[in-house]
Amino acid sequence: MDKNNLLGFLLMGAVIFGFMYINQDPEKNAAAKKAQNETAQTTNSTAESAIVVDSLSSDQINKLTAMVKTAGEAQKDGSYTLATNGMDLRCDSSKVSGTINVNNTTVDITKIIANKTDELPKQVAKAAVDTLISSINRFNSYGNFAKYMSGKSDTLTLQNDVMKVDLSTKGGKIAKVTLKKYDTYVSGDTANVVPYNGATDYYSFSLPAGANYIESSDLNFNAVQENDSTILMKLNLDGGAMWGIRYTLAKGDSYIVKMDIVQDKIENVFAPNMADMTMTWHQKMARNEKGKTFEERNSTIYYKYIGEGPDYLTESGDQSEELEQELRWISFKNQFFSSVMVPKTSIKRASVSTKDIKDQPGYLKELDVKDAIIAYSTKNSNPASFDMIFTPNLYPLLSSYDDKVATQDDLELTRLIPLGWGLFRWINTYLIIPVFNFLGGFISNYGIIILLLTIFVKLILFPFTYKSYMSQAKMRVLAPEIKEINDKYPNKEDAMIKQQKTMELYSKAGASPFSGCLPMLLQMPILIAMFTFFPSCIELRGQSFLWATDLSAPDAIVSWSAQIPFITNYFGNHVSLFCLLMTITNIIYTRINMQNQPGGASMPGMKWMMYLMPVMFLFFFNDYASGLSYYYFLSLLITIIQTYACRHMIDEQKVRAEMLANAKKPRKKTGFMARLEEAQRKQQAMLREQQKQQAKAKKNRR
């Protein structure tokens, strides 16, 4: 049977089975579907019958009554009302009524109290009873704090020149932080940046009370406006005890909210040997920038152990970490803004995690600090304090916090700005940033500042650039002699001799093929430093220049919404004009550079690779900050100008004459040249020995 017959049988089988499927008995299909539905109903019925719905005991009913009276709000008619956790309860005399909402179903609570839940679906009835019992138990465990578990939430505000802080009596916590001088740029929204939003973010202190824990976020505090910069959120407890959180926002341009835990006679409430409290901190980080790529790439949790440098979780993907050493601070950090928690003493240990948010375009990541253990004492009226810093990532500002926040060691908050590692960070810190800030003190247009900064950097590098051009000129004038050597030794077996003769020529003429590489290597650290500087420079945020509306984001001139495979992933859904100009200029510079290289035309493969690199940079830089592409475009443009200037400055005939004069002078071999020639001699001897062995083996085979 050949493959055609086999293919024919397969097609026939497919047709037959397809025909059988299409013409199967519809009654049998209906019967099968009915059987499936009956099976599903039977399964659901079995599961429903397996659910056990508890009933409230008389003790629990009494506790429910006490809960409504204690935590509820007194009414004029003598009744009490309590609205919390999906419950809307009322206590009139000793009778509790109201509703509870579970599984999108409103349940009459009197049916639960009377144990008349048969008419409800068992799943709904069980959820309602379990929720009610959980609330009763939770209320019972809060003791003196139970009366603060309900009530109306009020909002108070502290503000200065740069920041507005809303405080909520619910949880006695910060409800919202607004940075007045910075706007968001997402979907055309120009509202102020909100680094902390109580609608999605929260923190809470957990205090041990016997076998249970009291969460500050569950309580409704009384607000006391102590002055125009300080608000105290307090809880007045039995026996004259008090526990509260005092918030202070300094006037002027301060981004620091001082948060003090205060207490009085609290040893009557908590165990005298209580040594720790726990803090939880969560943020659903919202987007603020036009370009999501870099904002997402620069968003994560930073932290600093006492006595060590800052560290951070991965900026791409999800990660969890157990921090077992004492911590100086923890920060939720994104591209241009950070929220930093600096305790007065330290955080003994904590669990931190970051998780990417993929399905919500307006958000970046879920950031969590859990089980942060903080030293606590019932005997201290101020057992814990925190500096909550909601700050733009501005280098001078981050550096100033070492003086504004009293700690045992340096905060090193400038590490929140990714300026590269090692040498590159040193260049940015001690050269680029001072010059950039100096120019910013006189000039308001950041496009002009980048131009002047580029000229400044090119002037610094010009001696190395000139040396590189001089080396290229020397190599060009030696091209005829090098061609003679290549023509004299065309065979592969003469490669070592050809190399040796070429090196002798370089040595006599005082030229080196490597002398042009060193100046280029010296320029690379600055180029790489600038690569890290511009995407992290908050000064460029929202600054326009020419067609670019934001120098910290791509300057898209053409955009599209369609997701194109490969193109969208590696190029984005737009074309950045500065990046395009940089690419064109890079191609022109590559062509000029290839013409300057001796023998460049004889290497078509290398030539193709050299032209491919600028195109690759187009894909690489298209989604980067337009300020970076603008800088590289200017840098390449100035380099081209310098190239033509050096061509006029360097007289190649004069260079050739000097090199011929050098060739006639006796030259002492450098240590490098001596070692190179010795290595060539050894390699040539090994090659001759290999050829000898190969000839001998060939003779033996004959």
| 574 and 558 Cβ atoms separated by less than 8 Å | yes
Angle at 85 (CA atoms; ends 83, 90), nearest 5 degrees = 30
Q: What is the mean pLDDT of residues 223-240?
A: 89
Q: Quick one: pLDDT at residue 16?
A: 43
The length of the chain is: 702
Same domain, 672 and 602: no
Same domain, 310 and 192: yes
Going by pLDDT thresholds of 50, 70 and 90, the confidence category of residue 158 is very high
d(CA 19, CA 340): 69
- Does a structural domain hold residue 516? yes
Q: Provide the 3-class DSSP secondary structure of residue 332.
A: strand
Q: Angle, to 10 degrees, between the axis of helix 26-50 and the axis of helix 122-141? A: 30
| 385 and 486 Cβ atoms separated by less than 8 Å | no
Q: Quick one: pLDDT at residue 159?
A: 92
d(CA 552, CA 554): 7
- Does a structural domain hold residue 631? yes
Q: What is the mean pLDDT of residues 64-79?
A: 79
Residue 256 pairs in a beta bridge with 389
Domain count, the chain: 4
Q: Between 661 and 33, name the one with better pLDDT.
A: 661
Residue with tokens 């050809």: 498
| 278 and 343 Cβ atoms separated by less than 8 Å | no
Q: What is the mean pLDDT of residues 606-626?
A: 75
d(CA 307, CA 303): 12
CA atoms within 13 A on the CB side of 79: 11
Q: In 541-668, which ranges are continuous DSSP H helix? A: 567-570, 577-596, 604-621, 626-649, 652-664
- Does a structural domain hold residue 45? no
Q: Which amino acid is at 519?
A: P
Q: Which of 9-13, 127-131, 132-136, 423-427 has the lowest mean pLDDT?
A: 9-13
CATH number for 286: 2.70.98.90
Q: Quick one: pLDDT at residue 17?
A: 47
Q: Quick one: pLDDT at residue 493?
A: 62
Same domain, 461 and 411: no
Same domain, 697 and 611: no
d(CA 582, CA 614): 9
| 576 and 557 Cβ atoms separated by less than 8 Å | yes
Q: Angle, to 10 degrees, between the axis of helix 671-701 and the axis of helix 495-509? A: 170
Residue with tokens 């080196």: 512
Q: What is the mean pLDDT of residues 151-167?
A: 90
Residue 303 has pLDDT above 70, yes or no: yes
Domain, as residue range, for 635: 429-663
CB atoms within 10 A of CB 503: 16
**Highest-confidence segment of 398-402, 485-489, 600-604, 613-617:** 398-402
d(CA 30, CA 37): 10
Same domain, 649 and 614: yes
- Does a structural domain hold residue 371? yes
Same domain, 648 and 508: yes
Q: Between 493 and 170, name the one with better pLDDT.
A: 170
Q: Quick one: pLDDT at residue 44?
A: 45
Same domain, 267 and 353: yes
Phi, psi of 107 (to 5 degrees): -115, 135
pLDDT digits (tens, 9 = 90+) for 94-104: 788 888 887 77
Q: What is the mean pLDDT of residues 647-660?
A: 65
**Highest-confidence segment of 6-15, 505-514, 598-607:** 505-514
d(CA 67, CA 33): 51
- Does a structural domain hold residue 266? yes
pLDDT digits (tens, 9 = 90+) for 316-375: 888 889 998 999 999 999 989 999 999 988 899 999 999 998 888 888 999 999 999 998
Question: What are the respective helix, strand and coil percentages of the chain, to the nearest 5?
Answer: 45, 25, 25
| 505 and 630 Cβ atoms separated by less than 8 Å | no
pLDDT digits (tens, 9 = 90+) for 414-448: 999 988 888 888 988 888 889 888 998 888 898 99
Q: Which of 22-31, 362-371, 377-386, 625-634 has the lowest mean pLDDT?
A: 22-31
Residue 145 has pLDDT above 60, yes or no: yes
Q: Between 39 and 395, name the one with better pLDDT.
A: 395
Which of 107, 141, 175 is the last residue in one of the domains? 141
Same domain, 177 and 82: no
- The rounded mean pLDDT for the chain is 78
For the record, the structure tokens of 116 come out as 């008349």
Q: Quick one: pLDDT at residue 7?
A: 45
Which of 418, 445, 461 is the last residue in one of the domains? 418
| 475 and 513 Cβ atoms separated by less than 8 Å | yes
Cα dihedral angle (7, 12, 16, 17), rounded to 10 degrees? 0
Cα dihedral angle (456, 459, 465, 467), rounded to 10 degrees? -150
For the record, the structure tokens of 631 come out as 């800088």
Same domain, 695 and 632: no
Residue 215 has pLDDT above 60, yes or no: yes
> How are beta strands 202-209 and 212-215 bridged, if at all?
antiparallel
Q: Which amino acid is at 27?
A: E
Q: Quick one: pLDDT at residue 112?
A: 79
Q: Quick one: pLDDT at residue 143?
A: 74
Residues of the chain above pLDDT 90, percent:
18
Q: Provide the 3-class DSSP secondary structure of residue 665.
A: coil
CB atoms within 10 A of CB 566: 8
Same domain, 540 and 438: yes
Same domain, 479 and 624: yes
For the record, the structure tokens of 104 come out as 């999108």
Q: What is the mean pLDDT of residues 4-22?
A: 47
Q: Quick one: pLDDT at residue 22?
A: 47
Angle at 321 (CA atoms; ends 299, 257), nearest 5 degrees = 55
Q: Quick one: pLDDT at residue 653?
A: 64
Closest Cα to residue 53, out of 152, 125, 131, 4?
125
Residue 395 has pLDDT above 60, yes or no: yes
> How are beta strands 230-236 and 242-249 bridged, if at all?
antiparallel
Residue 47 has pLDDT above 60, yes or no: no
pLDDT digits (tens, 9 = 90+) for 484-519: 767 666 666 666 666 666 676 666 665 666 655 655
CB atoms within 10 A of CB 423: 12
Q: Quick one: pLDDT at residue 9?
A: 44
| Inter-CA distances, 150 with 220, 222, 623, Å | 6, 12, 50
Residue 10 has pLDDT above 60, yes or no: no
Same domain, 195 and 293: yes
- Does a structural domain hold residue 2? no
Residue 58 pairs in a beta bridge with none
d(CA 289, CA 163): 19
Q: Quick one: pLDDT at residue 302?
A: 93
- Does a structural domain hold residue 223? yes
Q: Quick one: pLDDT at residue 561?
A: 67
For the record, the structure tokens of 12 come out as 């026939």
d(CA 673, CA 666): 15
